[in-house]
Amino acid sequence: MSQAAESPVSLRGRDLLSAADLSMPEVELVFSRATALKEEFQATRRHVEQVLAGRSLAMLFQKPSLRTRVTFEAGMTQLGGHAVHLATSDVGVGTRESVADVARNLDRWVDGIMVRTFAHAIAEEIAATAHIPVINALTDLEHPCQALADVFTLRERFGAVDGLVLAFVGDGNNVYHSLALLGARMGLEVRLAHPPGFGPDAALVARARALAPDPERIVIDQDPRAVVRGADVVYTDAWTSMGQEAEAERRRTVFAPYRVDEALLSVAGPTTLVMHCLPAHRGDEITSDVLDGPRSLVLEQAENRLHVQKGFLAESLGGR
């Protein structure tokens, strides 16, 4: 039995709807399991212990994805389980069938549900109705799987994350929300530079400040140069999220001063690293020379989605 399995901390049967759902010991449990799985996978591209053998995961997609679909589907397969991809055209959540009816049916067929949707309330209703683990793989409010992969990536690079400064430049969006919540719990200083009118959800900021050892570690400003100065990491994301396409041109104008390029990085510092959750709009929120440059952690983040999600799946769905 692995060291993680012997831990008194257990995530068996647990949902993951918010980056704030996991305590510090629970995050450490996921990271420990992810580290072991990553080491084994990189050495052999296989896992000897098929901890999800016979387990199935329904994946509900209302938003398209490369990283989310591949990492969850491949992760389930690599651990001996099976994933069922369900697109909007297959299910019609809330249109063809009610959210609750979809949840009740899936609850009787599969061992877990992964949800990638618009309204956060859909993920919450599925979790409230089903008796099996429900994982938020992105809503308009949060993206906890991305935040877990990002903090895991930072710990790999820096050894520890307590005291690191992460500067998020752009929209106060779902990715920022989850980074603020998880970063606060893990001791990071999480800063945000956003244009007027594009700030984060006030309730989530208040929750992040309540989780932080010092509420002043959650910093919100509108000056990107001030926010990135001295940061260990500069993080950015697309200026226009799925569902906001009608605003794309206006956002491109408003967000132009928030582009992450070499000029902004020169203000941050000579050793500052760069993160982006992808997909990237090259030349908009980030330039290609920065995205592909030596300071970029982008591909490490993308890879670690696989390992961290497998860590959570193994602990939540796996047998004992």
Q: Which two tokens mark 173?
A: 């969006």
pLDDT at 84: 98
- What's the DSSP call for residue 112? E
pLDDT at 37 (0 to 100): 98
* Contact (CB, 8 A) for 186 and 27: yes
d(CA 258, CA 223): 9
**14 catalytic, yes or no?**
no
Spell out the SS3 assignment of 266-287: HHHCCCCEEEECCCCCECCCEC
**Whole-angstrom Cα distance, residue 16 to residue 29?**
14
Q: Where are the alpha helices (DSSP H) in 15-143?
A: 24-44, 67-78, 88-91, 99-109, 120-129
Backbone angles phi, psi at 236, to 5 degrees: -140, 165
Answer whether 55's CB lies under 8 Å from 289's CB: no
Question: CATH 3.40.50.1370 residue ranges in the chain?
Answer: 3-142+305-317, 146-301
**pLDDT value of position 1:** 32
- 145: annotated active-site residue: no
Q: Exactly one of 33, 47, 67, 116 is catalytic; which is it?
A: 116
- For this structure, is 155 an active site residue? no
| Residue 194 annotated as catalytic | no
Q: Do the beta carbons of residue 61 and residue 115 sit within 8 Å?
A: no
pLDDT at 204 over 60: yes
**Mean pLDDT of all residues in the chain?**
95
Q: At what angle do helices 24-44 and 144-158 cross, to 10 degrees?
A: 70
Active site residue 21: no
Which pLDDT band holds residue 7 (cuts at 50, 70, 90)? low
Please list the residues that pair with 260 across neighbouring strands. 286
* Catalytic, out of 15, 47, 140, 146: 146
pLDDT above 90 as % of the chain: 91
Question: What CATH number is given for 146-301 in this structure?
Answer: 3.40.50.1370
Question: What Å distances lie between residue 227 and 99, 183, 193, 298, CA to CA?
Answer: 41, 16, 6, 20
Question: What number does CATH give the domain 3-142+305-317?
Answer: 3.40.50.1370
Q: Active site includes 143?
A: yes
pTM above the 0.85 mark? yes
pLDDT digits 0-9 by tens, 259-273: 999 999 999 999 999
The pLDDT tens digits for 219-258 are 999 999 999 999 999 999 999 876 777 888 899 999 999 9
Catalytic pick from 150, 171, 232, 237?
Answer: 237
CA angle (224, 179, 303) in 5-degree steps: 105
Whether pLDDT at 5 is above 70: no
